Amino acid sequence: MSNYGLSMVSIAGPSKHDCGYCKGKDTSISFGIWAHSMTCADYQDLIDRGWRRSGKYLYKPDLEKSCCPQYTIRLDATKFNMTKNQKKVLHKFNRYVIGNCKAELPAKKPANYVQVKSLQDSIHEPEEQEVNEHKLEIVLEPSSFTKEKFALYAKYQVSIHHDLEEDVSESGFTRFLVDSPLKTNNESDFGSFHQKYTVDGKLIALAVIDILPKCISSVYFMYDPDYSFLGLGKYSAFREICLVQEYNKKFSDLKYYYMGFYIHTCPKMNYKGKYSPSDLLDPVSYKWYPIENFKSKLDETSFVTFDPIERDYPPGWLDPKSLKEKELENVFVLIGDGRIAPIIHIVKFRTSKSFKKNILDYVCSVGLELAHKMIIC
Ligand SMILES: [Zn+2]
């Protein structure tokens, strides 16, 4: 099950990064932790508080202070409606796979014939054919390193993101897209996975996804630029939405697809808002609201909340001044030999102001419930 084990984390603290969207210098502000191990349930709770992961590094952007605020977006996959354009992408992909092998359709359709196909039917159309021009295989496996995956990643980063070839390394790929604090094995339904897309035996795309108790979360997607005519970025989203629908039959709580952060100010990321019905996470109250409610407000100002409160600390945090010592009694730290102790009994907590502040910031950013469950080490 997803719930076994404990989450063990180290506090990385606040950080400033260059913004990948508007290219601002040090304008992306976040608070981070390193997760050595993490239960899927705890990670689900964290992403529902605006966190995301990059390998084993977990971070929560400060939406108020950052130049291009990153809103958590989710789609209810069980109610997904494809737009006309999205249908076209899917149809084009299927036409490529099926090629000239398409079976003859009945010549005449009744006058009132309307073809209504579900996403599932459309996605699986090539499999219905006896022969296809291209052999498409899609395989889900626990995340792992292979030379073939790395070669695809390197080609994608250099060609699409204009990374310098010497900056793309096997160790970087592993840290970013193979390593995960979530425990996954072949028997487990939840954890961190790679979905491989091969055409005629060649790896043409790779999706990095987390399967969690309530959602499938997209971590990254890369494709061979030689196949960009297939619209693989969009196609992969349909595949992942389908995967949610399939998991939903087995796990009724699992019905959402998280596409990663929605950045209103970045046209490249705007496509995420075109999958319907989608909600955005309110950065203060952590309630979900339909994206339509946000959009008009986001045109005017970059930080939007429907639950404003007076505060002098980052949005969504607990008020550090309101934390009671009693509440910290259940925040535990690993002290060696596998033993744990309440953080307030650690000498450094009493003697070092900066250490104490770091702990309090951590507790306020993850919230009390998670702070009581996760072990600091
Ligand atoms: Zn920016």
- Quote the pLDDT of residue 298: 95
202 vs 130, which has greater pLDDT?
Answer: 202
Are 249 and 347 contained in the same domain? no
- Quote the pLDDT of residue 267: 81
Give the pLDDT mean for 304-325. 94
Coil/strand/helix, residue 133? coil
What's the 66 CA to ligand 1 centre distance in angstroms?
A: 7
- DSSP calls for 278-328: EEEE-TTT--EEEHHHHHHHHHH-S---SS----SS-TT---GGG--HHHH
> How far from the centroid of its chain's Cα atoms is residue 102's Cα?
36
What's the 259 CA to ligand 1 centre distance in angstroms?
A: 19
What's the 158 CA to ligand 1 centre distance in angstroms?
A: 22
Are 208 and 345 contained in the same domain? no
In a domain, 144, yes or no: yes
What's the 61 CA to ligand 1 centre distance in angstroms?
A: 12
Exposed/middle/buried for residue 233 (C-beta within 10 Å: 0-12, 13-18, 19+): middle
Are 214 and 134 contained in the same domain? yes
What's the 178 CA to ligand 1 centre distance in angstroms?
A: 27
Are 239 and 376 contained in the same domain? no
Q: Would you say residue 10 has pLDDT above 50? A: yes
Coil/strand/helix, residue 183? coil
In a domain, 18, yes or no: no
- Of 210, 225, 255, the residue at which a domain comes to its end is 255
Question: Scanning the structure block, which residue is given the tokens 């069980």?
Answer: 78
Q: Would you say residue 284 has pLDDT above 70? A: yes
Are 243 and 364 contained in the same domain? no
- Quote the pLDDT of residue 111: 57
Q: Would you say residue 33 has pLDDT above 50? A: yes
Percent of the chain with pLDDT over 90: 84
**Which backbone phi and psi does 89 adopt, to 5 degrees?**
-60, -45
Q: Would you say residue 151 has pLDDT above 90? A: yes
Exposed/middle/buried for residue 337 (C-beta within 10 Å: 0-12, 13-18, 19+): exposed
Confidence of residue 116 (pLDDT cuts 50, 70, 90): low
In a domain, 151, yes or no: yes
Are 232 and 332 contained in the same domain? no
Are 328 and 251 contained in the same domain? no
| Cα→Cα distances 194→56, 69, 143, 236, 261, Å | 16, 28, 5, 12, 20
Q: DSSP strand E in 157-269: where?
A: 191-199, 202-211, 215-223, 256-262
In a domain, 3, yes or no: no
Coil/strand/helix, residue 267? helix
Asked if residue 31 lies in contact with residue 59, where contact means CB atoms within 8 angstroms, the answer is yes
Paired sense of beta strands 375-376 and 8-17, if any: parallel
What's the 75 CA to ligand 1 centre distance in angstroms?
A: 24
What's the 28 CA to ligand 1 centre distance in angstroms?
A: 7
Coil/strand/helix, residue 178? helix
**pLDDT tens-digit map of 183-194:** 776 678 999 999
What's the 25 CA to ligand 1 centre distance in angstroms?
A: 8
Q: Residue-wise over 2-16: b if at least 16 C-beta within 10 A, else e?
A: beeebbbbebbeeee
Give dist(CA 270, CA 257) in Å, integer. 16
Are 233 and 357 contained in the same domain? no
Are 231 and 369 contained in the same domain? no
In a domain, 20, yes or no: no
- Of 217, 236, 255, the residue at which a domain comes to its end is 255
Are 248 and 155 contained in the same domain? yes
Q: Would you say residue 280 has pLDDT above 90? A: yes
Are 122 and 223 contained in the same domain? yes
In a domain, 11, yes or no: no
- Quote the pLDDT of residue 107: 52
**pLDDT tens-digit map of 52-90:** 999 999 999 999 999 999 999 999 999 999 999 999 999
- Of 240, 255, 270, the residue at which a domain comes to its end is 255
**Domain span at 355:** 323-377
Per the prediction, the chain carries an average pLDDT of: 92
Confidence of residue 3 (pLDDT cuts 50, 70, 90): very low
What's the 16 CA to ligand 1 centre distance in angstroms?
A: 12
In a domain, 236, yes or no: yes
What's the 49 CA to ligand 1 centre distance in angstroms?
A: 21
In a domain, 318, yes or no: no
Q: Where are the alpha helices (DSSP H) in the chain?
A: 40-47, 84-98, 119-123, 125-128, 147-160, 170-173, 232-250, 291-300, 325-328, 347-351, 353-366, 368-373
Give dist(CA 27, CA 35) in Å, integer. 24
What's the 284 CA to ligand 1 centre distance in angstroms?
A: 20
The CATH code of the domain that includes 221 is 3.40.630
Give dist(CA 244, CA 211) in Å, integer. 9
Are 243 and 335 contained in the same domain? no
- Quote the pLDDT of residue 108: 56
Q: DSSP strand E in 38-70: where?
A: 52-54, 57-61
What's the 69 CA to ligand 1 centre distance in angstroms?
A: 8
**pLDDT tens-digit map of 203-251:** 999 999 999 999 999 999 999 999 999 999 999 999 999 999 999 999 9
Confidence of residue 2 (pLDDT cuts 50, 70, 90): very low
Give the pLDDT mean for 137-153. 97
Give dist(CA 258, CA 247) in Å, integer. 14
Domain count within the chain: 2
Least confident of 2-16, 120-134, 173-187: 2-16
What's the 46 CA to ligand 1 centre distance in angstroms?
A: 23
Residue 185's identity, in one-letter code, is N
